[in-house]
Amino acid sequence: MMARVCAECGAGVTLPNAEFCARCGKPLPEEPTQDPSASTISDKAQPETRCAAEKPLTVPSGHAEEQIAAPPVPAVPVNPCPYCGFMVEVPWPERCPNCDRLLETRPLDSLPRVPWSLRITDRMAFGLSVLLSAVLVGTLLRTVDDIVARESLIRQILLPEGMLRLIPEAITVLFVWSILQVLWRSIMLITQHRYPSGQVRQDWLQTLRSGRLPGDPEVIRQLGGEQAQRSWWVSRLRRSLTHWLRTRDPSQVNAVLEQHAVLDSEAVRSNYSLVRLAIWAMPILGFIGTVIGITLAIQDFSQFLGGEVDDIDRVRTQLMQVTEGLSYAFLTTMYGLVTALIAMFVTSFAEKGEQDLLVAADRYALDQLVPALQSGSAPATQRGITDVKQRPETGPEQLSEQVDVLSDQVGDPKKELERPPRRGKKKRSQKPE
C-alpha cells in the first residue's frame, strides 16, 4: 500500500489532495512514498498528529468497565407521599399509586374568613381613635373634677384654674390617642400572626409541592380578596405565585419578594409616624406651659412691687400667686415628660413586635414558599452519573456531537489544509527543482 509521508517530520498523510503537512505545515512531496513500513511506523509513533476530523469515532474498550451503574433519572419532578413516603410524580394524582390513599391538599384560594380587624382600613382606625380619645379625655376630666379633692396633686396637674387647663388637656388628649393607636397596632399584630393559622401555611407548602397550582391567573390575582391580601402571609403567597408562573426563575421571585419586604418595612414605620409626632409634642407642650406659668407669676409680682408693699397680707397673697404659677409651670413640664416617656416605651415595644413578625413572614416566603414552588413545578435535577475518575460519560453519540460543534466553530478541516499558507508558498517557490 502506497502512503504519503512528510519529508520533514515523518507524519503520515491520508488526504489524497493535501499539499501541506497538517503537523508542521511544510510542503508535501507530490509522489507518495513507496515504503509502507515508514507510514506504519510514523502512524504508531505519532498517533496525535492527525486532524481530529480524520480520526474514526470509537469508544475505548475499557471505558464501559469504568462506569458506575446508576438508576434512571425521572423526567418529571417527584415528591414523597405524606402517608407511605412513595415518590409520586408531580402533579399528584387523586390517589397514591403505592398505598392507594387519597392525596388531599388545600386549594390555595380556600382561605378562612377574614377577621374584622383586617376589614378596617388605617383611615377608619385613625378617625375612630381621634373620636374615642376625645370622649375618653372628657370623661376622665369630668370624673377627676367630681371625685378628686381640690388640694390633690392630680387635680392641680389636670385641672388648673382658668385657661391654663388647656395645655394639660392637650397633653392628655395626645397621650390617650397615642395609647389607642398602639393598642390598634397591637390588635393588628395579633391578627397578622394568627391569620391565616400556622396549619394553613403548612398546607400551602404541601399544595405547592404537589404541583396543584391554579391554572387561571385571575384566581391568583384575586387570592382571598382585597381584605385578605392585607395579611402579610397571603400577600407573599400571591406575589410568589404570580412571578413564578410568569418567570419560572427562583432568583427573580426572591428578588421581587425582597423588594416587597423593604416596602412593607417602610409601611410599618410610617404607621407610627403620627404617634412619634404626638410623643414629640407632649414635652414641647409641657415646656410651653412652663413658660406661661413663669411669665404669669413674674408679671403679677412685678406689678405688685411697683406699688405700695406695706400691707403684709397683700404681700402674702402675691407670693402665693407666684408659687402657684411656678407650680403650674413645673407640673406641666413633668406631666409632658412622663406621658411622652410612657408612650415612647409602649410604641417602641409594639413597633419591634411588628418588625419581628414581618421578618418571620419574609423568611417563610424565601425559605419555604419559593423552594416548595420549585419542587412542585421545576423539573428534577439530574443527579450525576459519573465514573470512577469523575469524568462525564462519553460514547459515539456524545463524541459525534462534540465533533459537530468543533467543526462549526473551526470550519472544514479539509479546506483549511488545502488552503496553502503564505510561508509555505514562499518556501516552495524557493526550493530548487
User: Mean per-residue pLDDT for 120-137?
Assistant: 92
Q: At 71, is the pLDDT very low, low, confident or very high (cuts 50, 70, 90)?
A: very low
Q: Higher pLDDT residue, 212 or 300?
A: 212
Is there a domain that residue 295 lies in?
no
End-to-end Cα distance, the chain: 27
Q: Is residue 247 domain-shared with residue 175, that is, in the same domain?
A: yes
pLDDT at residue number 90? 81
Q: According to the model, what pLDDT value does residue 136 have?
A: 95
- Please tell me whether residues 267 and 352 are part of one structural domain: yes
257 pLDDT more than 90 = yes
Q: What is the grid cell recorded at 41?
A: 511506523
Tens-digit pLDDT profile for residues 154-185? 888 888 887 888 999 999 999 999 999 999 99
Distance between CA atoms of residues 385 and 68, nearest Å: 7
Whether residues 417 and 371 share a domain: the answer is no
**Would you say residue 90 lies in a domain?**
no
- Domain count of the fold of the chain: 2
d(CA 279, CA 339): 8
| H or E element, residue 78 | strand 78-80
For the ranges 181-190, 217-226, 272-281, the lowest mean pLDDT is seen at 217-226
Indicate if 276 and 347 belong to the same structural domain.
yes
Task: Give me the pLDDT at residue 66, please.
Answer: 45
In a domain, 188, yes or no: yes
Based on the domain organization, do 41 and 176 belong to the same domain?
A: no
H or E element, residue 336:
helix 312-364
Confidence of residue 405 (pLDDT cuts 50, 70, 90): low
Whole-number Å distance between alpha carbons of 70 and 131: 73
Are 347 and 415 in the same domain? no
Look at residue 278 and tell me whether its pLDDT is greater than 90: yes
Per the structure, the complete domain to which residue 403 belongs is given by 4-50+397-430
Structural domain contains residue 401: yes
For residues 109-122, average pLDDT: 87
Closest CA to 118 of 179, 176, 194, 178: 194
Are residues 370 and 412 part of one domain? no
- Of the pLDDT bands very low, low, confident and very high (cuts 50, 70, 90), residue 428 is very low
pLDDT band at 35 (very low <50, low <70, confident <90, very high): very low
Residues 43 and 123 in one domain: no
Task: Examine the pLDDT at 14 and tell me if it is beyond 50.
Answer: yes
Q: Is residue 136 part of a domain?
A: yes
Residue 101, domain member (yes or no):
no
Residues 339 and 426 in one domain: no
Range from 100-104, 221-225, 404-408 that averages highest in pLDDT: 100-104
Residue 259 forms part of a structural domain: yes
- Band (pLDDT 50/70/90 cuts) for residue 6 is confident
Instruction: Output the CA torsion sign for 313, 318, 319, 320.
Output: positive
C-alpha cell at 6: 512528510
Which pLDDT does position 351 carry in this prediction?
Answer: 94
| Nearest alpha carbon to residue 126 among 338, 343, 278, 261 | 278
- Which residue did the predictor score with more confidence, 309 or 58? 309
Mean pLDDT confidence for 102-107: 85
Residue 110 is predicted with a pLDDT of: 82
Same domain, 342 and 417: no
Q: Cell numbers of 358, please? A: 414581618
Cα angle at 269 between 267 and 271, to 5 degrees?
Answer: 70
Work out the mean pLDDT of the chain and round it to a whole number: 76
**Is residue 219 located within the same domain as residue 264?**
yes
Q: What pTM was estimated for this model as a whole?
A: 0.65
d(CA 57, CA 48): 14
Is 415 or 204 the better-scoring residue by pLDDT? 204
Out of 58-62, 120-124, 307-311, 365-369, pick the least confident: 58-62
In tens, the pLDDT along 151-161 reads 888 888 888 88
3-state helix, strand, coil in the chain (%, to 5): 65, 5, 35
For residue range 361-396, what is the model confidence (pLDDT) as tens digits?
Answer: 999 999 999 998 888 775 434 333 333 333 444 455
Q: Could you report the per-residue pLDDT of 339-356, keeping only the tens digit for each?
A: 999 999 999 999 999 999
Query: Which of the two residues, 263 and 377, has the higher pLDDT score?
Result: 263
Task: Please check whether residue 140 lies inside any domain of the structure.
Answer: yes
Half-sphere exposure of residue 151, counting CA atoms within 13 Å on the CB side? 0
- Residue 57, C-alpha cell as written in the block: 469515532
Domain identity same for 138 and 277: yes
On the question of pLDDT at 247 being above 70, the answer is yes
Helical axes 312-364 vs 166-194, angle rounded to 10°:
20
